[in-house]
Amino acid sequence: MLTGIICNIRGLWLGLKTPKLLLLGLTRFVVILLATIVAAWVILLYHSEILTLIWKKPESLLLVWLWFVISWLLSLLLVGISAIISYLLAQILFAVVLMDIMSRVTEKLLTGSVEEPRKMTFLPLFLTLVRQEVPRTIIPVLISLILLFLGWITPLGPIILVLSSVVAVIFLAWDNTDLVPARRLVRFGERFRFLLNHFLFHLGFGLPFLIPGVNILLLSFGPVGGTIFHVEKKGSKEARLSRAS
């Protein structure tokens, strides 16, 4: 687990001191932030219309105050949902490309080249990245929502809250460490087994994402640490094989 924490911090340090990685990391952060702001603005702009579709403003003074409370609770809920949807869309349509570029830059910095099964033009590469990203993004969100629902309907709320946080950080870590095998077109099932086999590493890698403020930087440069992990893991494996032969 400690190895994962250290690897994440090393990725941040390399990203901050490398101009190209610094620019890409900041761009990724801005893309997701802007998508979230635009979605939240649209939701709040049509707040009254959305509420009217659900519950028209009552004439009774006794119910008007309840209508206003529900109105703003609904707004907060819709803003939260819009933030999740914006993250998913930004991640799948934009950030996945930036993450792949960051991973490629890191791999080239560390090894001098980028290993991939074949060269692709932008469109096939983009479609491949999106196809890889969809299950890697959707599955964690579904699991988190299921846990959140269980926390509401069962008395195990505090335990489920901790469990959902663990699940979230592990999948956030995997989103960054999975870039290299996804680029090399490793099958999803094999990549998922790799996650399970390196559970503690991913837990350690994702734990710093729980630190408010710091997590913004770490999430922006996570692909760097994830690539460092795979490059060094491959190097140590080759070294062991060389000694064995």
Which residue shows structure tokens 């620019």?
23
Q: What is the pLDDT of residues 153-212, one digit of tens each?
A: 666 666 766 777 788 788 888 888 988 888 887 888 888 899 989 999 999 998 888 776
Q: Are 224 and 102 in contact (CB under 8 A)?
A: yes
Q: State residue 164's pLDDT score.
A: 72
Distances (CA, A) of 185 to 94, 182, 244: 20, 5, 28
Find, among 172, 177, 231, the residue nearest to 207 by Cα.
172
pLDDT band at 19 (very low <50, low <70, confident <90, very high): very high
The pTM of this model reads 0.71
- Per domain, the residue ranges of the chain are 2-224
- The CA distances from residue 72 to 37, 51, 56, 75, in Å, are 18, 9, 14, 5
CA distances (Å), 159 to each of 70, 156, 163, 168, in order? Answer: 28, 5, 6, 14
Ordered alpha helix ranges (H), the chain: 2-17, 19-45, 47-54, 61-90, 96-111, 122-153, 157-177, 179-183, 188-197, 199-206, 214-220, 222-244
**Model pLDDT for residues 42-89, shown as the tens digit of each residue:** 777 776 666 666 666 666 666 667 767 777 766 666 665 565 566 566
52-61 tens-digit pLDDT: 666 666 666 6
Contact 210, 169 (CB under 8 A): yes
